Copies of this chain bind each other. A is one copy, B any other.
Amino acid sequence: MAANLDGRIELVAGCFSSNPNISKLSGADLLLDPSRVYSSYKVMASKEAALPKSERIDFVSIVTPNNSHCPVAKVFLEAGINVICDKPLAFSLNEGKELRKVVEKSGKVFALTHNYTGYPMVKEAKQMIRNRELGKILKVVVEYPQGYAITDLGNKGESGISNWRMDPKVAGASNCMGDIGTHAENLARYITGLEIEEMCAELSTFIPGRQLDDDGTILVRYKGGAKGILFASQILNGEENNLNIRVYGTKCSIEWFQEHPNELIVKEVNQPRIIKRRGNSYLSAVARKYSRTPFGHPEAFIEAFANVYLAAADAIEDEVSGRKLKKNYDFPTIEDGVTGMVFIATAVKSSNSKSKWTKMLKA
């Protein structure tokens, strides 16, 4: 839906299952030309690459579990096809670094779907900080509370909901911190531009029987002196998808809540509170650029996700047209992906060492 929204992207080929029959049936449901519904991603990459440039796909979207992101991306990049890939980047930090080499060598576009950075008011927040409207940033509080994985221990003693994200062979070293903690890390970094210097992490597994974390809290020290609290959880009963961030500066502070995404709250001591609202002419150019409807006509999750596709489409168009790629498209890159993997690995390391303060690992 996010890719469809702006009429700029059309689905023309795909591999929709590791089972060739299911892939074929899904392709038919999607009204695709059967000759472009493939039995495996390898076949897809080689066959599409063999098509004349005007006919073949401009990019592939990888929406598989963590452990296949890199193998799949590698094959397409090496076949000369641009990639838009789900997060987290990889199964492991090393795998992520390897992929970075492939991306760099390929010269192709690689975008990562940290979709929450697509919200216009998130872009407004980033712009305010770039403009130094907050002064020096002292503290960042970013939370990602979910509750879908809670289970009533008392009544049943079962681990409740389980899925591939909780399987270390598929998800990697972390469930919760890898799945949603990385979104929180990415959002805070996107908005503030701050780099983590070291962290003190405690990952927890509240529901017995689970092999990976379902909750975690991290104290953060950023380069330059700011501090942070980052917490993510999947077992906070009744929370839905309550990603939110507060950035406190010496001049003013900002707050944004994903579940009410059209507003950005600005707080300053001895001043009335301010609420900026999407769609208004007083917003920054970038917030207006990634907005589709007038004020008061709310936009939400799908539109934000579509903004990642829009920005990536700019780059892909440049690449496909043979133009030189620019430095600063507004979508998450392979570097963001590697930083996310560093974040996960460092959090696991700190947590395993009794929450010892741990420097960010090498990217």
Chain A contacts to B: CB under 8 angstroms? 1, 4-7, 11, 30, 135-136, 138-139, 141, 146-148, 150-154, 200, 202, 204, 206, 215, 217, 219, 227, 229, 231, 233, 235-242, 246, 248-253, 258-262, 266-277, 279-282, 292-303, 354-357
Contacts and interface: CB of A to CB of B under 8 A. Distances in A.
Given A238-B269, A273-B238, A296-B259, A1 B11 contact: no
Contacts of A355: 200, 219, 355, 357
Contacts of A141: 231
A253 B268 contact: no
A357 B354 CA distance: 8
A304 to B, nearest CB: 9
Nearest to A355: B200
Nearest to A253: B237
B227 A229 contact: no
A246 to B, nearest CB: 8
27 contacts: A4-B4, A4-B6, A135-B152, A136-B153, A138-B236, A139-B206, A139-B236, A152-B250, A229-B231, A236-B248, A237-B248, A237-B250, A237-B251, A238-B252, A238-B266, A239-B253, A258-B298, A259-B262, A259-B298, A260-B260, A266-B272, A273-B274, A293-B301, A297-B301, A302-B302, A302-B303, A355-B355
A261 B153 contact: no
Tallying the copies of this chain within the complex gives 4
Contacts of A248: 147, 233, 235-237, 239
Contact of A277 (B227, B273, B302): B273
A136 B237 CA distance: 11
Nearest to A228: B217
Contact of A299 (B275, B282, B302): B302
A82 B349 CA distance: 53
A139 B219 contact: no
A88 to B, nearest CB: 18
Contact of A280 (B204, B236, B270, B296): B270
Closest 8 A/B residue pairs (Cβ): A238-B267, A240-B296, A241-B296, A300-B300, A298-B300, A273-B275, A297-B301, A237-B253
A229 to B, nearest CB: 5
Given A235-B248, A251-B152, A297 B241 contact: yes
A251 B204 CA distance: 19
A298 B301 contact: yes
